[in-house]
Structure 1
């Protein structure tokens, strides 16, 4: 009986210290975000998952971002790719075939965008639907290349248009980046985890800068961002994130303060 009581006491004490430690970490994280406007830590995994050699090949072929990472951070990137596969099924439509290339390019795109965020597996979407090419929407009777539908929790791609975003890597047109940027933006507006709070803080600063009439006119006159960016705030943020990854040097040269806001929103370093 004494042993049982002792074990019970130890479990209670252990649980207390565990929850107390979690409380302290949460407090420190909130304080860190308030001061530095980014999460206290990003990568903390008890065990990293592995990807196949074929998946690693596609990452090397299509993601310069992955190439630039240290060996340790490549391991983290690969872990997140594997985790993405487990959490977000890819559903083919119209006889489309999902293979390793499809899985890796979609997962790699999402992981690249969210690599600076601690919470990267979000519940704003729970599936990805892929058509072979532009698909017809009965909802608005138009053809689409891609979309994020928060009501259905779905991200939808035309594979033809998704791949073209990687065939030309400096035209500031990348369907995968664009639609996943919508996901991140949506998540940040509705959640209060560290990464969402940091994204939202810097997004608010970005909005203030962009909405200042002289700045906005300068953006429009520069013709650097395509006119579609000015459709609404959601499209603007997705378009400038495309530019951030596709032509970072030009972006930083033309609009260094805006570039800095995007870098801090994503907690990224180019």
Structure 2
């Protein structure tokens, strides 16, 4: 077990770690497939994120700890190869019992990252479905956390960037090429929503990266490899995805 997380683990009660394990074992396929040692690190990182993030919900909707663990696990999953454990800007998560809309806006949302309120908003049914179906390349939590990583990476100083600049530029080069292919209807891997803009392409790619890694790599090997380098992990290696 990573010595850093072994020390962090001392701050959490055994009951909390066991509860976290039981929830993740039945809801998160990525966690279920990890080696025993990786599971230990994953649990601690999940609890760190949970304890450092403000979770709120509609008054009539009860958001219990197991739900918070599930949501937190999505962040840990995508950052498992990175050094980041928490979000600095978007550390407020608001959960709704159903899809929602904004005043004077007819669009219906299942999730969004609000730059004005600095909140991540998500509907619980969409979150739940994202984990119930682990191989359809649709996971709302992963998608919205992907947006957060881009926003936070942009705001950070050079020395505290989430992503290495060289790796991010390599991904961006491949993403721009892929974006044009989507516009020309030459797209096999990512759903059409990735053609909205590069921000959406990033988050849609992230969902596919984790939920259909073999399919992604087979059809878009260069883009896939750029994401392996960016996130320092390869989800095809289910026991130990982290790239040293």
Range class of TM-score, shorter chain: 0.7 to 0.9
2:180 to 216, 232, 235: 216
Aligned mates of 1:47, 1:180 — CA distance in 2: 23
Structure 2 CA distance for partners of 1:67 and 1:168, relative to 1, 3 Å: closer
- Consecutive unaligned residues of structure 2, counting only runs of 5 or more, are 236-244
| Contact 1:124 1:150 (8 Å CA) reproduced | no
Instruction: Tell me the residue number matched to 1:12.
Output: none
Other structure's SS at 1:119 match? coil
Q: Is 2:44 the partner of 1:79?
A: yes
What does 1:42-81 align with in structure 2 at a 5 Å threshold? 44-45=4-5, 46-48=7-9, 49-50=11-12, 51-81=16-46
Q: Which stretch has the larger CA shift, 93-102 or 204-213?
A: 204-213
Q: Looking at CA atoms only, which structure, 1 or 2, has the larger radius of gyration?
A: 1
Shift of 1:43: 6.8
What does 1:221-260 align with in structure 2 at a 5 Å threshold? 221-260=186-225
| Contact 1:113 1:266 (8 Å CA) reproduced | yes
Q: Is 2:147 the partner of 1:186?
A: no
| Contact 2:188 2:219 (8 Å CA) reproduced | no
Q: Is 2:149 the partner of 1:149?
A: no
Aligned mates of 2:112, 2:94 — CA distance in 1: 10
2:70 to 87, 94, 105: 105
Shift of 1:255: 0.7
| Contact 2:174 2:226 (8 Å CA) reproduced | no
Aligned mates of 2:3, 2:228 — CA distance in 1: 18
Other structure's SS at 1:124 match? coil
Shift of 1:195: 5.5
Paired residues in the alignment total 227
What is the RMSD computed on CA atoms of the aligned residues?
2.2
| Contact 2:208 2:216 (8 Å CA) reproduced | yes
Aligned mates of 1:80, 1:65 — CA distance in 2: 14
Structure 2 CA distance for partners of 1:47 and 1:212, relative to 1, 3 Å: closer
- Consecutive unaligned residues of structure 1, counting only runs of 5 or more, are 1-41
Q: Is 2:161 the partner of 1:205?
A: no
Q: Deviations over 1:193-227 (max 9, x none)?
A: 456242x43221122223348x8327841332111
Aligned mates of 1:87, 1:226 — CA distance in 2: 33
| Greater fraction helix | 1
Aligned mates of 2:172, 2:8 — CA distance in 1: 39
TM-score by length of 1: 0.77
Instruction: Tell me the residue number matched to 2:127.
Output: 162
TM-score by length of 2: 0.84
Other structure's SS at 1:221 match? coil
